[in-house]
Amino acid sequence: MSHLTAIVDRFLPASFGSWGRFISSGAFNTLVTYLLYLALLKRLPYQASYTIAYATGIALAYALNRYLVFRQPGGRAGPLLVTLIYVGQYFLNLAIVSAAVHWFMAPAALAPLFAIAMTVPLTYLLNQRVFGGLEPDPEVLPAAAARPRAWGRSAAIVLLVGLPVLSLALNALAWLRFGLDLPYFDDWRAYDSGDIDSLEPTYLFQALNDTLTPMGLALDAIAQRLLDGNSIAYQFLSMVLVLGALMLLQWKLLRAALGDPLRAAACFVFALLMLQPGSYWGRENLAYQQALPLVFILAALWLGVARPWRDHWNFPAIFGLGLLAGFTYISGAFGALAAGTGFAVAAMLAPPHPGRVHFLRAGGALALAGAVTAGVQFVTAILPSQGGTHAPGVPMALPTQPDFWLYLLGKVGRSLVLPADRPILSLVLVLMALCGVVAATVLVARAVRMAAGDAGSLLPLAAVFGAVSAMVGTYLLLVAAGRTNFRPPEVQAALDVFVFGFQRFHFFWASLVWPWVVAAAFFFADRRAVSGGGLRPYRPALAVCVGVAVAVMIGRGALDHFGHQRFESRPRQATAECLQSELQAGGPIRCPEWKMQDLRNAYIYARHIGASFVQHFPIHPVVLGVEFPAPWFRLGRDGDSVQARNMVQGAPSMYRGDKDAQIYLEVGHVPEMARCTVLDVAGRLKSSQADTLTVYFREPGQLDFTQDMSGALTVGGATQAGVFHIRLD
């Protein structure tokens, strides 16, 4: 091996540094395993070929890193840690390879090269932790060693932060590609009542679906007035702004709590759980309003941690953000109360220090706003139902019922992208994850209580962790109480209730806690490393766990927004066809998507205010002579009620006219016509010269015909009779 080392030193001198030797040895390893991959690809699928080639390269990678790159033994745990590193990289690379082949149509032969290029900086950083420690190789010049380490850190930060940003971009593009400008379920309610564009206080402050949501209703009205309620534009804007704000606030809070940007990025990458497909975007326009309180609460927490202004501005701003959260949704009211309480309790546990009072006041301001709005929400939305929900006959679930907790655990499982088709495994993993949350809570509380000189640096992490944990826990209790019993009667078995909890978007709030659980783990890994008197394997092992978790999240579909939106669009197309067909029938508008709700009034009001979706669903002109829908008047059938002026009747349905020829039609359907939104008049007319045909109509009680109640059309100028059609809105 010494001879081989001398040969390597001849071609790769010390100035290359460990980074240069890592790249060179990695290129050699890649060449060997890539040739093996190509050979196997002739007989096996690309997934199996990649797996075998990758497993072969792990042993080679350890030998190269141990003897040629870092030239350090790496301790007795070195082989195990290197295996963990490359197993984690395997899952991440496999996810990237699969995405490249299936999503971007990359050739299977080139897909591994893309994966290697994306993950090599992280792999170098982790191997350096195992073999080289925190100090540069003694044989390498300091400047030469510092540059690659800094570059590796920057690349890792960009990758970890870029994955959630990529997820948001894919989500937005998928919605623009597959979204449909058509209201969905609850969105029809405000069209049906004629309030979709209303800013009247009596409408904004009415309780709907067990909540008071004046902020959300006001935003819907503004979107209707500015965007004509266009679902594509509305959901695109709400998605980018709300999710973008949540990502920004999570990043700022993690940076303030952890200090180190690399550790903050390693926690921030778990925002992929918040951004996974199937959240508030893709169906109802108004669904995102349940996420909006989180923006206000996290902004309030950031004000409490960062203190960007003087306290006489910070505290009123925190209180105002709490009010906005509480009046956006009922979960915002109780969530602000819980978050403020958790924030203040963390400060109370800390020993006295200069910043402690600010944290207490900030938490108190947020909790006070939450208490005020929670009281209003309770009196307005909960108390009148007397233990029930907004659906008649569906009671609230209680914590004394096992189904309550099984449904709650299902939401936690969904937030972790666990498989619903393997309920026992998922339930075990959920219980383990919750044990981790409890353990992190106890350890953080104990650490901040025992802190002495470092209380000021620990308190931001403890306060935000306590606030987010309390807020998420309170939300899950609310959801379980209000939604557990909204399930089919056949869902009664314990595992069935647990799996039922995976449905719908109520997992969203739970996904916010996981970056902070990882942040707590990093904090304690650092403390163990320091207390151990030297480099310990905790931080590299934790970094490997983060890499494996990222690979699992991607493999479980955390980035599959295009597939999800494509799947969601298929039944919506059937609904669009149903709506178009029902409109032409002239009767009730009933489609399966809305459980046979009659949408006539909703469509009429949407047409009246110029909602954007109406242009995609026109009422087609009535075909002359058809019996369905039956016309109110037909000249050949109802000619006896016709009064003609300057016209001579030649047959039951034929008239010959002179100048200013007029026909008066008594339709005889006054009540129906009084409710009429679209009136179609069609006939057959022959005129040798071009002329103007005008149709006038009168509303009930109106004596004279007026120009504003009319429609005109140029006709004639042909030797053959032609069909005319006039539509009056």
Contact 292, 335 (CB under 8 A): no
Stretch 413-441: mean pLDDT, rounded? 92
Q: Beta-carbon neighbour count of residue 477 at 10 Å?
A: 16
Q: Which residues pair with 711 in a beta bridge?
A: 695
Nearest to 618 by CA among 570, 581, 668: 581
Q: What was the pLDDT predicted at 77?
A: 63
Q: What was the pLDDT predicted at 6?
A: 53
Q: What percent of the chain has pLDDT over 90?
A: 36
Residue 149 reports pLDDT greater than 60: no
The separation between CA 250 and the C-alpha centre of its own chain, rounded to angstroms, equals 15
Out of 127-141, 392-406, 475-489, pick the least confident.
127-141
Q: What was the pLDDT predicted at 407?
A: 94
Residue 137 reports pLDDT greater than 50: no
From CA 222, how far away is CA 186, in angstroms rounded? 17
Tell me which range, 38-42, 57-61, 277-281, 568-572, is most confidently predicted by mean pLDDT: 277-281
Residue 698 reports pLDDT greater than 80: yes
Residue 280 CA: distances (Å) to CA of 180, 290, 432: 15, 8, 27
The owner of tokens 């209303």 is 198
Contact 199, 219 (CB under 8 A): no
Contact 451, 351 (CB under 8 A): yes
Give per-residue burial for 257-296: e unless 16+ CB within 10 Å, then b: bbeebbbbbbbbbbbbbbbbbbbbbbbbbbbbbbbbbbbb
pLDDT single digits (tens) 508-553:
999 999 999 999 988 877 776 555 544 455 566 777 788 888 888 8
Q: Beta-carbon neighbour count of residue 726 at 10 Å?
A: 18
From CA 184, how far away is CA 232, in angstroms rounded? 12
Nearest to 163 by CA among 261, 238, 265, 249: 265
- Token readout for 483 is 């939604």
Q: What was the pLDDT predicted at 581?
A: 87
Q: Give the pLDDT band of residue 122 (cuts 50, 70, 90).
A: confident
- Token readout for 145 is 């060693």
Q: What was the pLDDT predicted at 672?
A: 78
From CA 356, how far away is CA 359, in angstroms rounded? 5
- Cis preceding linkage at 201, omega within 30: no
Q: Beta-carbon neighbour count of residue 227 at 10 Å?
A: 16
Of residues 255 and 46, the one with the higher pLDDT is 255
Provide the residue type at 385 as one letter: S
Q: What was the pLDDT predicted at 539?
A: 62
pLDDT single digits (tens) 250-267:
999 999 998 888 889 999
Helices marked H in 65-196 — which ranges? 78-102, 111-127, 142-178, 187-193
Q: What was the pLDDT predicted at 533?
A: 46
Provide the residue type at 669 as one letter: H
Of residues 678 and 284, the one with the higher pLDDT is 284
Residue 243 reports pLDDT greater than 90: yes
Nearest to 352 by CA among 451, 443, 465, 441: 451
Q: Beta-carbon neighbour count of residue 646 at 10 Å?
A: 12
From CA 6, how far away is CA 12, in angstroms rounded? 10
Stretch 110-136: mean pLDDT, rounded? 67
pLDDT single digits (tens) 265-316:
999 999 999 999 999 999 899 999 999 999 999 999 999 998 777 777 889 9
Contact 666, 644 (CB under 8 A): no
- Token readout for 456 is 């000021």
Nearest to 67 by CA among 121, 12, 142, 131: 131
Residue 139 reports pLDDT greater than 50: no
Q: What was the pLDDT predicted at 312?
A: 76
From CA 531, how far away is CA 518, in angstroms rounded? 20
- Token readout for 10 is 């001849």
Contact 180, 617 (CB under 8 A): no
pLDDT single digits (tens) 317-334:
999 999 999 999 999 999
- Token readout for 488 is 């089919």
Q: Give the pLDDT band of residue 127 (cuts 50, 70, 90).
A: confident
Q: What was the pLDDT predicted at 496?
A: 93
Nearest to 115 by CA among 418, 547, 416: 547
Out of 56-70, 92-106, 422-436, pick the least confident.
92-106
Q: Beta-carbon neighbour count of residue 99 at 10 Å?
A: 18
Quote the DSSP letter at residue 184. Answer: -
Q: Give the pLDDT band of residue 596 (cuts 50, 70, 90).
A: low
Say what the pTM is.
0.76
The separation between CA 109 and the C-alpha centre of its own chain, rounded to angstroms, equals 34
208: left (phi over 0), alpha (psi -120 to 50) or beta: beta
Residue 542 CA: distances (Å) to CA of 85, 471, 520, 525, 548: 10, 26, 11, 8, 10
- Mean per-residue pLDDT over the chain, rounded: 83
The separation between CA 372 and the C-alpha centre of its own chain, rounded to angstroms, equals 29
Residue 134 reports pLDDT greater than 50: no
Q: Give the pLDDT band of residue 141 (cuts 50, 70, 90).
A: very low
Q: Give the pLDDT band of residue 145 (cuts 50, 70, 90).
A: very low
Out of 222-236, 442-456, 706-720, pick the least confident.
442-456
Q: What was the pLDDT predicted at 689?
A: 83
Residue count of the chain:
729
Half-sphere exposure of 665 (CA within 13 A, CB side): 16
pLDDT single digits (tens) 607-638:
989 999 999 988 887 778 777 777 888 888 88
The separation between CA 346 and the C-alpha centre of its own chain, rounded to angstroms, equals 30
